[in-house]
Chain A
Amino acid sequence: MMMIFGIPAPLLFGQLLLGLINGAFYALLSLGLAIIFGMLNIVNFAHGALFMLGAFVAWGLLEYSGIGYWWALLIAPLIVGAFGVVLERLFISKLYKLDHLYGLLLTFGLALILEGLVRNFYGSSGLPYRIPRELQGAQDLGFMMMPNYRGWVVVAALVVCVATWLIIEKTSIGAKLRAATETAPLVQSFGINVPRMITLTYGAGVALAAFAGVLAAPIYSVNPNMGSNFIIVVFAVVVIGGMGSILGSIVTGFGLGVVEGLTRVFYPEGSATVIFVVMVIVLLARPAGLFGRAH
């Protein structure tokens, strides 16, 4: 058997691929965070709870109205995104003129309330959610059995990430959005409704989290805390990529997934820490992050 650094090659390739899959979740979540931070200047600590809400809405759609995975993938982000719009209008919009810290505290509080409410109604041990029938089974890649569903996760995440990036960087809506974050009064004077644009941006960021939640529901335990495991790592990803950088969050998300996957072979105990080690190194070398612009 071929060996690479004392590790059998098939095992190593397998871990690389698994890392890429986890990276897909990091990328999707950090993308939403980066958009919200970039456009609204809000550090959205509720992101993990909204990710969880996406998974629970998918479960609820199936349980109460028999709506399966594929429709849930569309409907759950819409429902949770609409919820995000309400949150933004009622609470978050009051904080734009204040220090970052207030937004952080508010969204952290919202996260605790959301998780507490879900726990109260649905318990702590989680709910079952199956892999859709079309994606059951696995492909033999030679070096590992690759479950079809995981392959789908990578593809879906990549498509959504690239589409989002294109919308923000290459369309006129994206251009207006970027302009509004630079100088809102000027853009407003052109007759563009900036507050509404910002509200919808928050809704879209939240919808991305919910989309990731639906993707996660068949493979992770659907429980009230499922988001809190991810959120800290995802914040690290955003910081490494550069706060507010869209491309940075996507590339860093996938990249760190791979780094984490490799650590799981060479030094498993350190696999939760390695991302933060990378974060420290990056912050020392490039304080604005890999893709960030220094202000």
Chain B
Amino acid sequence: MGISRRALLATAATAATALPVIRARAQTQKLKIGVLTDISGLYQDIVGPLAIEAVRLAVADSGLAARGIDVEVVAADHQNKADIGSNIARQWYDRDGVDMITEGGSSAVALAVAGVSRDKNKAYLATGPATSDLTGPACNAATIHWVYDTYMLAKSTGGAMVRAGGNTWYFITADYAFGHALARDTGTFVEQAGGKVLGGVRTPFPGTSDFSSFLLQAQASGAKVIGLANAGTDATNCIKQAREFGIKATLAGMLVVIADIHSLGLDVSQGLVLTESFYWDLNPRTRAFAERLRVRYPSRRPTMQQAGPYSATMHYLKGVADMGVARAKADGAATIAHLKSMPTDDDAFGTGLIRPDGRKIHPSYLFQVKKPSESKGAWDYYNLMGTTPAEEAFRPVALGNCPLVKV
């Protein structure tokens, strides 16, 4: 190799220390946002390109360009790997002058990026990940967790379903940490609401394509609701095969979003119950937001995880304009503290607030998938079944064990 390790290290060190100083002097009114997302993998349709476009829309909607603040958006693919995600974050913060990272993909990536953001004193607005640990034991002063988490999904789908009459449950659980946590938490809410969990089966993950035998076991239990404590292809295969075998019980998808419904088609997914914190056709504001996004990205409607980066970026830009660009760039923790002090308000999620533990709260919605005859066309998929108010939708601060909060 031509370059010695020593020379390489020296160059890297010089670049890391010298470049930001030069940048700070030359371009004080320039902000850079990094969208760290899944561009080529399993979750591409749930986040991916549409999430990036949503951030660009937020930049346009913020109107900061007219006030002399230039906001640049960059994007990268974390490939759902924590090491790749944290390396990109480090490079963005150290070398490329990124001030804030949003989206942030799967839970493992998010936990890693949250740590990097704290160490580098930058801002991280996580909208993609599910794990409620981000505002629990792993919470930190650089991170806000936006759209949803496992606790919210479990509470909304578990609790509200029982109140709607689905009081006996059977779980089909993906056999890994995410599935176990989801089934356990949902079961707790089902029982708290007066329902009963009749049983469950843990399915190998990954590597299961055929769920018919598990579905028949679920049916044999006589439960009124089959809870799908899995996600992605596992969930869509369960839904498709339940229809094929004429399973009578109501299916409750613990983490199913509109992109999954679109891929299944209404004839297969009708009747399914699920929770999202955003639906494009919820109210005039969400419709206006979705329409602006449609102009930029016509082929798909946003999931909650794609609306999230819009909402987070809007709030971030408002906060930065409020506290001054120079201060925001210099101190990520101060920026996050400032964002927490402001109420949130945007077209996608309406009004809300950010708690001291970094949890952004807003209502969660229980939806039922329409029958094909009720739908007016593509993406007209949900009937609203129930709403959990913002204050009740998420885990109480006191129960999260977040070290930022003294209880």
Contacts and interface: CB of A to CB of B under 8 A. Distances in A.
B178 to A, nearest CB: 15
Contacts of B241: 219
A127 B240 contact: no
A173 to B, nearest CB: 34
Interface string B185-209: 0000000000000000111101111
Nearest to A229: B209
26 contacts: A11-B217, A14-B216, A116-B40, A119-B41, A125-B46, A125-B232, A125-B236, A126-B263, A130-B268, A131-B244, A138-B246, A145-B246, A147-B245, A150-B212, A220-B210, A220-B240, A221-B236, A221-B237, A225-B233, A226-B209, A229-B206, A264-B214, A269-B202, A269-B204, A271-B203, A271-B204
A251 to B, nearest CB: 20
Contacts of A119: 40-41, 44
A294 to B, nearest CB: 31
B240 A221 contact: yes
Contacts of A271: 203-204, 208
Contact of B263 (A120, A128, A138): A128
Contact of B212 (A18, A218, A229): A18
A229 B208 contact: yes
A279 B351 CA distance: 58
B260 to A, nearest CB: 6
Nearest to B266: A128
Interface string A112-134: 00001001100111111011000
A32 interface: no
Contact of B217 (A125, A149, A150, A265): A265
Interface in A215-238: 218-221, 223, 225-226, 229-230, 232-233
A4 interface: no
Contacts of A171: none
Contacts of B210: 18, 21-22, 219-220
Interface of A: 8, 11, 14-15, 18-19, 21-22, 116, 119-120, 123-128, 130-131, 138, 144-145, 147, 149-150, 218-221, 223, 225-226, 229-230, 232-233, 261, 264-265, 268-273
Contacts of B240: 219-221
Interface in B228-286: 232-233, 236-237, 240-241, 244-246, 259-260, 262-265, 267-268
B103 interface: no
B213 A124 contact: no
B377 to A, nearest CB: 15
A47 to B, nearest CB: 15
Contacts of A223: 233, 263
B12 interface: no
B175 interface: yes
A220 B207 contact: no
A264 B237 CA distance: 16
B204 A220 contact: no
A220 B209 contact: yes
Interface residues of B, number: 41
B45 A125 contact: yes
Interface in B144-203: 175, 201-203
A11 B263 CA distance: 31
B207 A268 contact: no
Contact of A261 (B213, B262, B265): B213
Interface string B48-79: 10000000000000000000000000000000
B42 interface: yes
A230 B213 contact: no
Contact of B207 (A130, A149, A272): A272
Contacts of B262: 125
Contacts of B265: 128, 130
A20 B260 CA distance: 29
A16 to B, nearest CB: 10
Query: Which of A18, A125, A230, A265 counts the most chain B CB atoms within 10 A?
Result: A125
Contacts of B244: 131, 147, 149-150, 218-219
B204 A130 contact: no
A273 B205 CA distance: 11
B297 interface: no
A270 B202 CA distance: 9
Contacts of B203: 268-269, 271
Contact of A272 (B204, B217, B232, B236): B204
Contacts of A18: 210, 212-213, 216
